[in-house]
Amino acid sequence: MSLELGLRQAAAPSPFRRLLSRSPSAVFGALVVGGILLVAIVAVFWTPYGPLTVSTGKELLPPSGAHLMGTDEYGRDILSRLMSGTDLTLLSSVGAVLIAGLVGVPAGLLAASRRGVVGEAIMRLADLLYSFPALLAAITLVAAFGASTVTATVAIGVASIPSFARVTRSAALPILASDYVQAARAYGRSPVAILRRHVLPNVAPFIIVQVSLLLSVTVLAVAALSYLGLGTPPPTATWGGMLENAQSYLYQDPLLAVWPGLAIALSVLGFNALGDGLRDLLDPTLRGRA
Amino acid sequence: MEAVDASTSAASPLLPAEDSPDRRDLAFLRFVARRLGTTVLTLFGASVLVFAVLNILPGSPAQVILGTQATPASVRELTIKLGLNQPLPLQYVHWIGGLLSLHLGNSYISGQPIAPELGAALAVTGPLVALGLLFGLAIAVPTGILSALRHRRASGTWLAAATQVGIAIPNFVLGILLIIVVAVDWRLLPASGFIPWSQSVGGALRSLVLPAISLGLVEGAILSRYVRTAILGVMRADYLRTARAKGLPAGRALVRHGVRNASVPVLTVLGLELSGLIIGAVVIEAVFTLPGVGSLLLSSVANRDLITVQDIVMLVATVVVVTNLLVDLLYRIVDPRLEVGG
């Protein structure tokens, strides 16, 4: 995937140890994200039990050899539901980032290369969208179209467009002003060819960092929406939905809430650390800047 | 400070050579006017978007209000009474006109006016956000300064790592963890619900403590990183080295010269954080079943009470956008060097 590509590019000249000392946060993030991806891939083919399989008489069991994380109030295996929830979380988050990137990156490039009315209009539109909180946008869309995985994904994706547009534009501006782009222009290359051959490859690292940082935001948003009952409807296993469910049993079985909470927090932490670390590797002067 | 002002004003083509107060005031007024203009435009754009999204779908609110048993005639009658047979632009104008004159209209579901209900909800959400902000600042400022001062030592690194973890814990997850520990295990504070202010001020505050902590901790962790970065940046600045060279101890130099400079970026983030707190409150109210604006919004979504949804979304968006405006203006007052802002 593009994320791994970025890491390998940055890491190529130095062995693992030097990478670890240069950016422990990138290594930590890559490990966590790698682990999550692994779980997601495994969950496509195998989970210990069916995530929707109800078994009477096995309700709210504590963790044991048979059920590593115990069971919920319908006797469903928590580990299986958590694994299957990983798939849905990633699918929704990656979908949202894809929507945001596919619109935001071209919009940012366009705004950078055509600095007149078009560029200004794009950035004002981005400002408008940016000032409108993502969760509020999602709630509005759900109110109109009803709660579903697709609504949640599209809502989060649309709300994330401006951050891509802004990052792309500000990364592309200095490149467009550089000598080699001037040269290419003088040589008679078309603007589209310049964008593709010179600007995009140089902007790509910034976009990769943004993808990772944004994934931490979208994972959180997906979980929040399903927690509020505005995402994928039950009985499908979602991390947020499991958390919401667990809240009714806090007095009997507090562990029930701990597992999905841990999954959400760990994923957000992983993507965030990976993005931060990659940014540090990309530009050491930005180290520590939030 | 003096050294900085002199060097940058010489570099900035926008500042007049002589820093006459009149010209500065004029520039500031022009800035305020422009920012006000963009704010109004943003809110207008947002209102059109919200109205369009919520009214684009076919399906009559009158049908929703009257239920499935209603006769077509009564549905048509109510549609006309609510003005829903008018063209959409006219309905939009009617809605916006109402909002501007503080007439929020009546709920589609209960038929009751929305304003009093919203007012009661604000009496919960307002204090919740304020407490969350206080709590966030109480965490962010000390930890941020400390981790900056110790950034070469292990303790500073650990502090920075701890804030990283703090950022990753979503407020609703933290809220549930707090309920498990403080409310369920220790039985110190209520796990959910709200005692109205009119009944008991102490009780109301007690029911807001855990929600405010859940809300403030995450925002405080984010803010703490900005405080750290800002202080680190200031510590490397030339004027601070000058202050040290003339004999001020590090702490005194930082207080006298650094804090104001460091406060500028922090202030901006604080504005963003405030919008984060307001949006976070929607989720936190659901966690603790507080009867605030967020709960009202979510129940209106569930009941398909679209007019209430429309009003609340616009209210929250307005608060967020106006907060950003105020922060921008404050930013300019704290740091008059920034001639072109917004």
CATH code of residue B178: 1.10.3720.10
Task: Please indicate, yes or no, if residue B314 is contained in any of the structural domains.
Answer: no
The closest alpha carbon to A227, from A215, A214, A213, A238, belongs to: A238
The nearest CA of chain A is from the CA of B178 a distance in Å of 11
| CA torsion angle B200 B206 B208 B214 (round to 10) | 180
Distances A62 to A254, B11, B179, B281 between C-alpha atoms, Å: 10, 68, 20, 33
- Cross-strand bridge partners of residue B75: none
pLDDT per residue over B296-337, tens digit each? Answer: 999 888 888 888 888 899 988 888 888 888 887 887 777 666
DSSP class of A199? I
Those of residues 223-262 in B touching chain A at CB distance below 8 A are 225-226, 228-229, 232
pLDDT at A35: 93
This complex has an ipTM of 0.80
Range of the domain at B264: 117-290
A282 and A10 Cβ atoms separated by less than 8 Å: yes
Highest mean pLDDT: which of A39-43, A75-79, A252-256? A39-43
When pLDDT is cut at 50, 70 and 90, the band that residue B8 belongs to is very low
pLDDT at B46: 87
Residue B322 DSSP SS3? helix
Locate B99 and state its tokens. 């909002």
pLDDT at B132: 93
pLDDT per residue over B133-171, tens digit each? Answer: 999 988 888 888 888 878 777 777 788 778 877 777 888
Locate A227 and state its tokens. 């927690």
Task: Return the residue of B nearest to A267 by Cα.
Answer: B168
Measure the CA angle with vertex A130, ends A124 and A134; round to 5°.
150
pTM for the whole thing? 0.82
DSSP string, A61-129: PPS-SSSTT-B-TT--BHHHHHHHHHHHHHHHHHHHHHHHHHHHHHHHHHHHH-TTHHHHHHHHHHHHH
pLDDT score of B251 more than 70 = yes
The nearest CA of chain A is from the CA of B179 a distance in Å of 8
pLDDT score of B56 more than 80 = no
Count structural domains, chain B.
1
Question: Which among A127, A269, A290 has CB closest to B229?
Answer: A290
The nearest CA of chain A is from the CA of B133 a distance in Å of 18
A157 or B218: which leads in pLDDT = A157
Task: Please indicate, yes or no, if residue B177 is contained in any of the structural domains.
Answer: yes
- A139 close to B (CB below 8 A): yes
Across chain A, mean pLDDT equals 83
The nearest CA of chain B is from the CA of A280 a distance in Å of 14
The nearest CA of chain B is from the CA of A190 a distance in Å of 34
Task: Return the residue of A nearest to B61 by Cα.
Answer: A144
pLDDT per residue over A266-278, tens digit each? Answer: 999 999 889 888 8
pLDDT at A94: 93
Task: Please indicate, yes or no, if residue B71 is contained in any of the structural domains.
Answer: no
Residue B106 DSSP SS3? strand
Please compute, for residue A93, the number of CA atoms within 13 A of its CA located in the half-sphere on the CB side. Answer: 30
pLDDT at A1: 43
pLDDT per residue over A162-208, tens digit each? Answer: 888 888 988 888 888 888 888 888 888 888 888 888 888 888 888 88
Task: Please indicate, yes or no, if residue B89 is contained in any of the structural domains.
Answer: no
pLDDT at B213: 92
Task: Please indicate, yes or no, if residue B19 is contained in any of the structural domains.
Answer: no
pLDDT score of A60 more than 60 = yes
Q: Do B56 and A144 touch (CB under 8 A)?
A: yes
Q: Which of A223-227, B157-161, B289-293 has the lowest mean pLDDT?
A: B157-161
**Best to test chain B binding among A21, A122, A124, A140 (most B CBs inside 10 Å):** A140
pLDDT at B6: 41
Task: Please indicate, yes or no, if residue B51 is contained in any of the structural domains.
Answer: no
Determine the Cα–Cα distance for residues A76 and B97; give it in Å rounded to an integer: 52
pLDDT at A33: 92
Locate B128 and state its tokens. 């919740």
B112 or B9: which leads in pLDDT = B112
A17 or A111: which leads in pLDDT = A111
Those of residues 226-255 in A touching chain B at CB distance below 8 A are 227-230, 243, 246-247, 250-251, 254
pLDDT at B30: 87
- Name the burial class of residue A237, with classes exposed (0-12), middle (13-18) and buried (19+) by CB atoms within 10 angstroms of its CB: buried
Other CB atoms within 10 Å distance of the CB of residue B7: 12
Task: Return the residue of B nearest to A288 by Cα.
Answer: B229
Task: Please indicate, yes or no, if residue B183 is contained in any of the structural domains.
Answer: yes
pLDDT at B129: 93
Task: Please indicate, yes or no, if residue B16 is contained in any of the structural domains.
Answer: no
Measure the CA angle with vertex B25, ends B22 and B30; round to 5°.
125
- B168 close to A (CB below 8 A): yes
